[in-house]
Structure 1
């Protein structure tokens, strides 16, 4: 008997709401996570991104980003990969991610 791959719930492109995306990215830790994934240009594990919070708080931040539709999380073996849903977000809200992710802290 083979195990079924674990799947996480994600909003469809049409279900992504602007206020949810803005809320998710309003937190400095979540914005850092999104920027880092964007810079990698590919799906990365949670451990690839350094955050200054506890593991449980980190898990919360990733969940908020996933539920808002900012990232897609998939399992590869025991690792959870995180990818920015840039295509979906650019289609729904043209220019938004470029504007948000392109602004450095303090600007």
Structure 2
């Protein structure tokens, strides 16, 4: 089973991993351009900051000023960029930051982003 902190799609996989009906890029397929584009949105950046402080967060527990459909869009963008992993437990979906994968690919990136002052 994949490490929950690094998410599926890590070394050794030959295609995107699928978990709970959602696909995730393999570690080798996470591109810096996609990561930076996902982090450029203030709401998604705040979501990543919230995830960095916890092991995982349920979809409805993010503290963001957006509608449910917009939150779903932001979660999809973060997932497709390789920033987060989700797991299904009953009717709830929990999200975690793929910190190990991101730190291995882009050392210091998350630390720098998380240390930046909030606007």
Shift of residue 49, structure 1, vs aligned partner: 1.3
Bigger helix share: 1
SS, match of residue 86 in structure 2: strand
With structure 2 as the length reference, what TM-score do the two structures score? 0.81
Off by >6 Å, runs of 4+ in structure 1: none
**Residue 37 in structure 1 maps to residue 81 in structure 2:** no
Offset, 1:47: 1.9
TM-score (norm: length of structure 1): 0.90
Distance, in Å, in 2 between the alignment partners of 1:22 and 1:58 is: 19
CA offset digits 1:43-97 (Å, max 9, x no partner): 1102221110111011000000000000001111111110000000000000000
Q: 1:28-67, aligned counterparts within 5 Å?
A: 28-40=42-54, 42-67=55-80
Q: What residue in structure 2 maps to residue 17 of structure 1?
A: 31
Q: How big is the alpha-carbon RMSD for the aligned residues of Structure 1 and Structure 2?
A: 1.2
Q: 1:7–1:75: 8 Å Cα contact kept in structure 2?
A: no
Quote the residue 2:100 is aligned against: 87
- 1:97 maps to what in 2? 110
Q: Greater relative contact order: 1 or 2 (C-alpha under 8 angstroms, separation 6 or more)?
A: 1
8 Å Cα contact 1:16-1:68 kept in structure 2: yes
> Take 2:40 and 2:94, find their aligned partners in 1: how far apart are those partners?
22
Segments of structure 1 that go 5 or more residues without pairing to the other structure are none
**How far is the alpha carbon of 1:105 from its aligned partner?**
1.3
User: Matched residues in 1 for 2:20 and 2:51: separation?
Assistant: 22
